[in-house]
Amino acid sequence: MTDAPLATAQQDLARAYAGGAPGVLVSGLVWLIAGTVWQLHGTVPAFAALFAGGMAIHPLALLIERTTFKAPKATIGKPLETLAIEATIPLFVGVLIAWVLLVRAPDLAIPVFAAIVGARYFLFRTMYGDIAYWALGGAILLIAGLALFGIALPFNPGFLVGIVELLAAALILRRWRAGT
């Protein structure tokens, strides 16, 4: 794709998915729930909450996009939707790795999963044409890295990722509205 068709596809995809903000919002809520479960019940139940909630992110985000924002389906942005689907494969690999870590190194399972999620957000810059996704991915990678290296955080990484995603969702939504 040259720059003009890419920009057109990005605008189309952003229009169809409200800039991706609803997905980031739902993901942030899932991470906050997982952080709460982690605090109250430990790593394994938190991972289960993260896994179950993660499966609901796309359908709930679509519901928000279609009902709240009356977003149409993407037409020109279809190749970028394919990128989104392809980017889900490493996410599933991350779930598998984190699942193995639940048995071998439970304290690393959720931070490793957060790192995978953060890394995945870098692709969203290409999908939606919004550099805010680089900042979001970088912030989540920072949280994950600090947790992986055992550096004390003010809250557990689930809470922190959730807070970062909710703030990012608000920023991305504001930027999307300004561009539409």
Q: What is the pLDDT of residues 123-166, one digit of tens each?
A: 999 999 999 999 999 999 999 999 999 999 999 999 999 999 99
Read out DSSP for 17-61?
Answer: TGGGHHHHHHHHHHHHHHHHHHHHH-HHHHHHHHHHHHHHHHHHH
The total of structural domains in the chain comes to 1
pTM, 2 dp: 0.94
pLDDT tens digits for range 65-88 = 999 999 888 887 678 888 888 989
What is the spatial distance between Cα 3 and Cα 12, in angstroms, rounded to a whole number? 14
Domain span at residue 71 reads 3-179
